[in-house]
Amino acid sequence: MGSIGFIGLGIMGLPMCRNLLGAGHALVVYDVVPAAVAAAVESGAVAAGSSREVAARSDTVLTVLPNSPHVRAALLGPDGVAAGARPGSLVIDMSSIDPTVSHEVGAALAGAGLRFLDAPVSGGEPKAIDGTLAIMVGGAAGDFAEVRPLLECMGGSIVHCGDVGAGNVAKLANQIIVGLNLAAVAEALALVERAGVDPATVVEAIRGGAAGSAILEAKVPMILARDTRPGFRVDLHHKDLANALAAGRALGAPLPLTAQVLELFEAARAAGLGDADHSAIARVYEQLGGEAMGADD
């Protein structure tokens, strides 16, 4: 596989990095936060002082960064990957970003003689730790085939979705469906509470029918227990839906329900719930309706 660089050692990146180290790969790593680099070095990685240095010492570079501006900076900035990479190197961006930015970055890297895949992930920190992430990949089929063994160290489901940007299109589709499903569950529970019917009983009555879903199973217990520990944070889901709308505008695809649900996430952030689990949008319904949801406190 050659030498591997890894940039972005946060909640997702660090365990993904550890799984690559565990599979026997040598890694050169960088993060703007020195403590994150130190944690990876403790697990066996070698530290670099910049993204440029990572690229200069690697044939394949992986990035797991928060959003589009961070990806642009790490890949195309003055001290970025493109400034240091050897011609023909392969860059794999595993961040969840706007697919139109994946296109832009991919074209800029191609201009510098570099290859590019977008490969965002789904599954959260537990699956990052287990190495069972769902990985959605966009880019040339040959590049995908080349890095598939590397991705298998981090993922349980790895699907080539199409050309550059298709991975992030798949990820945005995932986030739209999860966000709208969550909003539907929160809205339905608000009605049930207002009607004075026991929500746990209603869920028991409907879970085996057409309204059943992974979100219903995973998030209703959290909503009813008023447990807002993340999980997947409101801020990240807000970011993904904002990216979906930006992509929709760029492509001419109207996303009316996504726009409405984004406003629920905006309201959750305004209420100080940005770091809470995304199921905390149920709290927004509580504020709208003045009705306590879950335990009496």
Binding residues for ligand NAD (CB under 6 A): 7-13, 30-33, 36, 51, 64-66, 70, 73-74, 95-96, 121-122, 124-125, 232, 236
Tokens 């699956």 sit at which residue? 127
Tokens 């029918």 sit at which residue? 209
Residue tagged active-site, from 127, 171, 219, 239: 171
Burial of residue 162, with CB atoms counted within 10 A of its CB: 0-12 exposed, 13-18 middle, 19 or more buried:
middle
Q: State in angstroms the smallest separation of the CB of 277 from ligand NAD.
A: 10
Question: Is 239 labeled as catalytic in the residue annotation?
Answer: no
Which is nearer to ligand NAD, 135 or 203 (by Cβ)? 135
Cα–Cα distance for residue pair 133/126, rounded to 1 Å: 9
Which is nearer to ligand NAD, 123 or 199 (by Cβ)? 123
Q: State in angstroms the smallest separation of the CB of 151 from ligand NAD.
A: 15
Q: Pick the closest to residue 93 from 61, 123, 125 (CA basis).
A: 61
Which is nearer to ligand NAD, 66 or 289 (by Cβ)? 66
Q: State in angstroms the smallest separation of the CB of 285 from ligand NAD.
A: 23
Which is nearer to ligand NAD, 96 or 199 (by Cβ)? 96
Provide the phi-psi class of 231: left if phi over 0, else alpha when psi is between -120 and 50, else beta.
Answer: left
103-137 burial code (b ≥16 CB/10 A, e <16): bbbbeebeeeebbbbbbbbbbeeebbbebebbbbb
Q: State in angstroms the smallest separation of the CB of 8 from ligand NAD.
A: 4
What residues are labeled active site? 171
